[in-house]
Amino acid sequence: MIGQKVKEILLENEEYFLVSADNVATLQDTNSLEHAFLVLTNIGYSRIPVVDRKEKLVGSVSLSMVVEVMIDTESINPDKLSEVLVSDVMDKDVKSLKQPFEIEKILNLLVDANFVPVVDDDGVFKGIVTRKEILKSVNHLAHEIESRYALQTK
């Protein structure tokens, strides 16, 4: 369990945790893998969220998932990408968050991921919390805690 004072300092920058959906590259589940390949390679991320037509989070897709479709044991066939949909290969078991944020849950989820999607109560994609933003708060904590509190060994 995270101590209350540590939690307070970590959450001082909470307003910056959410990268709004307007600023996050996403794919629709009905996009072809050809489109996914173009988006993933152009933005330089290895994984991005997938939404449906109603903007609900339905999964995530990675560059390696896309590449796997076009490679077999003897050749590379990029033409296959136009025949397969994002929904056919995406990871549907995506952990997400809701606001207000629980810092302990964020930290646990970011151990294994570079970002965690944020949704509203209806599952509509609102954005992401990135490992980078949380590490900024951890850095803030490391620089602030001893200036605010007298820490001593128990």
> How many whole angstroms separate alpha carbon 49 and alpha carbon 96?
11
Full strand arrangement of the beta sheet holding 125-130? 18-20, 125-130, 115-119
Q: Return d(Cα 44, Cα 114) in angstroms, integer.
A: 13
**CA separation for the pair 27, 48 (Å, rounded):** 7
CA 83 to chain centroid: 27
Entry pTM = 0.89
Task: State the sign of the Cα–Cα–Cα–Cα dihedral 25, 31, 37, 38.
Answer: negative
Q: Which of 122, 121, 130 lies closest to 52 in space, CA to CA?
A: 122
| Spatial separation of the C-alpha atoms in residues 133 and 150, rounded to whole Å | 27
Tens-digit pLDDT profile for residues 72-102 = 888 999 999 999 999 999 999 999 999 998 9
pLDDT at 136: 94
Tell me yes or no: is domain 4-148 CATH 3.10.580.10: yes
List Cβ neighbours of 62 (8 Å cut-off, separation of 6 or more).
40, 46, 47, 91
pLDDT in tens, 115-154: 999 999 999 999 999 999 999 999 999 999 888 888 889 8
Given a cut of 90, is residue 1 above it in pLDDT? no
Query: Is the Cβ–Cβ distance between 65 and 90 less than 8 Å?
Result: yes
**Domain extents in the chain:** 4-148
Contact 115, 128 (CB under 8 A): yes
